[in-house]
Amino acid sequence: MGWELWLTIASVAIACAALAVAVTVWRRTHPRRVVEPQAADAEEPGKGQQVAVVVNPSKEGAAELVATVTRVCADAALPEPLFFETTVDEPGGPQARRAVAAGADVVVAAGGDGTVRAVAGALTGGDVPMAIIPVGTGNLLARNLDLPLSSVEDGMAVVLGGRDRHIDVGWARVAETDVGLDGEPRPDAAVPGDTQLFLVIAGLGFDAAMVADADDTLKRRVGWIAYFVAGVRHLHGRRMRAEVSIDGGEPVPTRLRSIMVGNCGRLPGGVTLLPDAEIDDGVLDVAAIDTRGGLAGWAQLLGEVVMQGAGLHNDLPGKIGRIDHARARRTRIRVEGGEHAQVDGDPMGRVIELEAWVDPGALLVRTV
């Protein structure tokens, strides 16, 4: 067994131990809130909020989810819920608009992060709240809103008895796509001008390459750990040469592994990438992530992520794995040679230049 493999094992072991400590601290400082469903007026049976559910039928447990939602609404003396199934061509947006047209008082996104993004895109700017019952791998927004992740009944308690709040929405636009030596777009290039909503994090570089390479079958079997497995293949990838502009300022040249633009910063596994990000503060948090020194740099970077999630900061000079933070309402990122881009764990393709901005308070969501 070579020294690099031993170092990798040791680094992962140390990171996992630190992560366990961070998760324990987070759980102690974020007690779970239980929300009781609100039944309709007993003297007026059938009167109450109309629940509509946009459900991804390909997700495991979708049929049981439909049955549970129907039963909970009946027990609360609410109208029979409306169900709209997603398809490959229509991942949730048209269904959400049809739900609003049908008189829905709340539209539930029941699926993964892609379903949540599609429903949010249809409801952004409107006055009908979006609720979430997670049925996916990452469940990024649900984690950041402290929503129940594994129980449909607990999720329905929030749908029927939670409060509504406005949150910010992020947008990412492909300003320039990646092209080959012949000047034509590469097969894996992003679509020029493609503009997509993100609720948690958009990224360029290592994180996006990891998302693009994650195996779908493995994701279904082991969940978010599939992204970690995919990331191992990119640990020895090259550092990007990038130029980053904040709020219209002069582009700043830099070299890094990944750059992320976040609306909020909590990831699966209890990892907090952007500790200062607030989902309703009207700004985005930009994290420039870099490592040098091979596996030692990645080990230090893992330590940085875990420490900041626990509220600790390492300001010592000479770090070979580091995260630099900035805040912006709008940012432009240009990458020499092109890199993969992603929004909330969904690949956009390879880009040369990506623009991201915030739409403050644009989405009404139902939370605990």
Here the CATH number for the domain that contains residue 92 is 3.40.50.10330
Determine the pLDDT at residue 114: 92
Asked if residue 286 is part of any domain, the answer here is: yes
Average pLDDT over residues 308-321: 64
Between 79-88, 118-127, 159-168, 338-347, the lowest mean confidence (pLDDT) is in 338-347
Taking residue 207's Cβ as centre, other Cβ atoms within 10 Å add up to: 26
What is the structure's pLDDT at 231?
58
Residue 62 lies in a domain: yes
pLDDT at 3 > cutoff 50: no
Same domain, residue pair 291 and 151: no
Q: Are residues 214 and 326 in the same domain?
A: yes
Tell whether 190 is covered by a domain: yes
**pLDDT range class, residue 244, cuts 50, 70, 90:** very high
pLDDT at 28: 41
336 & 225 share domain: yes
**Is residue 15 in a domain?**
no
Which range of 125-134, 205-214, 308-317 scores highest in mean pLDDT? It is 125-134
Q: Give the CATH number, domain containing residue 343.
A: 2.60.200.40
Is there a single domain that holds both residue 71 and residue 212?
no
With bands split at pLDDT 50, 70 and 90, how would you rate the model's confidence at 22? very low
Q: Is the pLDDT of residue 109 over 90?
A: yes
pLDDT of residue 340: 93
Beta carbons within 10 angstroms of residue 352's beta carbon: 20
**230 and 104 in a common domain:** no
Do 203 and 333 reside in the same domain of the chain? yes
Task: Give yes or no: residues 209 and 106 share one domain.
Answer: no
Higher pLDDT, 137 or 288: 288
153 and 184 share one domain: no
Domain span at residue 66? 51-161
Structure-model confidence comparison of residues 105 and 3, the more confident one: 105
Q: How many percent of the chain have pLDDT more than 70?
A: 72
* Alpha-carbon 294 to chain mean position: 28
Confirm whether 11 is domain-assigned.
no
**Does residue 301 lie in a domain region?**
yes
Residue 136 lies in a domain: yes
- Range list of H helices, the chain: 3-29, 62-75, 93-101, 113-123, 140-144, 152-161, 206-213, 216-222, 225-232, 295-309
122, 142, 161 - which closes a domain: 161
Average of pLDDT values for 211-230? 62
